[in-house]
């Protein structure tokens, strides 16, 4: 038995997604799968995780109570145990599926990239446990949940967190825009859960900012020309910069960049999105001067219907 879920990137709406802003997001061609295999020991659940083909984590749990017997990483095993137990609470019958089982998970991207190792795992576990992935996400995370929805999408989409759940709608981004978009890894992995918790401490409602970002999410998706898309990127960056009281990356890392650059996810790390009309070879040369070596074009990494 095998289950597969995709990675993700949030193009617009970072931070304010938590407050109900409409965001533009994309599922990726890279993701995570889990294989479910039978073993002879009915009292144990074995879990093995690989990252880009290399062993990363192993654990053995007792069943039916899912307590750790042995592990290579205590913190990872605790998070995995909590996720499995949350799945059982949603579907008690899932317990029977865990006895005498070995799970092998395979992550197709670097853990440091912030592409959704946790969200794709939640989605896969929900598949296996036959529970709703968004509901499972809410039991273990304070995030907006867009990433868990992205795990099962086949193309770009708008997402909005609502009081009762969420809204998601497929969108098409013009090829006249996507052909000039790139994603570059900034080399500074950020803890998204920490960023979420810090932002949620703010008591400000951000009503105007939520509306502005929601409008920009629509404009970005509907842009027919890269110049328009770049303008909306700049507007978005300025709004989030004013909220966080931090400089945008066009004022720091990319202050001499002749295209447009926008932060993605937790500011200051993970990936940035670039709008660049020159050749990819020329872009790589410019980024290499900044010691930025990991770069993908939109078509290389984004899942398109």
Q: Give the tens place of pLDDT for each residue, 82-96.
A: 999 999 999 999 999
| Contact assessment for residue 182 and residue 271, using Cβ atoms and an 8 Å cutoff | no
Compute and round to an integer the Cα radius of gyration of the chain: 20
Count of positions (residues) in the chain:
305
| Contact assessment for residue 260 and residue 230, using Cβ atoms and an 8 Å cutoff | yes
| Contact assessment for residue 50 and residue 35, using Cβ atoms and an 8 Å cutoff | no
pLDDT digit string, tens, across residues 241-283: 999 888 999 999 999 999 999 999 877 668 999 999 999 999 9
CATH topology of domain 172-301: Alpha-Beta Plaits (3.30.70)
d(C-alpha 71, C-alpha 129), whole Å = 23
Written as tens digits, the pLDDT of the chain (305 aa) is 999 999 999 999 999 999 999 999 999 999 999 999 999 888 999 999 999 999 999 999 999 999 999 999 999 999 999 999 999 999 999 999 999 999 999 999 999 999 999 999 999 999 999 999 999 999 999 889 999 999 999 999 999 999 989 999 999 999 999 999 999 999 876 555 555 666 666 667 889 999 999 999 999 999 999 999 999 999 999 999 999 888 999 999 999 999 999 999 877 668 999 999 999 999 999 999 999 999 999 999 999 87
d(C-alpha 87, C-alpha 94), whole Å = 7
Give me the residue spans of the domains in the chain: 2-168, 172-301
| Contact assessment for residue 49 and residue 16, using Cβ atoms and an 8 Å cutoff | no
CATH number at 2-168: 3.30.230.10
- What percent of the chain shows pLDDT beyond 90? 86
CA distances, 207 to each of 12, 19, 143, 161, 287 (Å): 17, 9, 19, 14, 37
């Amino acid at each position: 038995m095998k289950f597969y879920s995709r990675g993700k990137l949030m193009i617009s709406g970072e931070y304010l997604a938590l407050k109900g802003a409409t965001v533009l997001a994309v599922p990726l061609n890279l993701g995570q799968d889990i294989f479910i295999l039978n073993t002879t020991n009915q009292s144990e659940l074995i879990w093995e995780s690989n990252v880009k083909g290399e062993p990363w984590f192993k654990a053995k749990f007792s069943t039916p109570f899912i307590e750790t017997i042995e592990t290579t990483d205590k913190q990872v095993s605790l998070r995995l145990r909590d996720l499995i137990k949350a799945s059982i609470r949603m579907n008690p019958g899932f317990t029977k599926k865990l006895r005498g089982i070995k799970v092998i998970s395979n992550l197709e991207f670097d853990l440091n990239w912030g592409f959704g190792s946790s969200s794709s795992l939640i989605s896969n576990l929900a598949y296996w446990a036959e529970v709703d992935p968004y509901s499972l996400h809410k039991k273990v995370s304070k995030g907006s949940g867009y990433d868990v929805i992205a795990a099962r999408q086949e193309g770009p989409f708008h997402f909005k967190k609502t009081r009762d759940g969420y809204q998601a709608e497929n969108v098409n981004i013009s090829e006249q825009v996507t052909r000039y978009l790139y994603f570059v890894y900034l080399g500074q992995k950020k803890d998204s859960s920490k960023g979420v918790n810090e932002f949620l401490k703010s008591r400000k409602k951000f009503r105007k900012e939520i509306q502005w970002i929601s409008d920009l999410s629509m404009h970005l998706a509907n842009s027919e020309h890269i110049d328009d898309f770049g303008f909306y990127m700049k507007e978005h960056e300025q709004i989030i910069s004013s909220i966080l009281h931090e400089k945008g990356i066009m004022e720091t890392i990319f202050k001499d960049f002749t295209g447009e650059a926008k932060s993605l996810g937790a500011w200051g790390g993970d990936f940035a999105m670039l709008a660049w009309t020159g050749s990819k070879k020329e872009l790589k040369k410019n980024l290499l001067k900044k010691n930025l070596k990991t770069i993908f074009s939109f078509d290389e990494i984004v899942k398109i219907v």
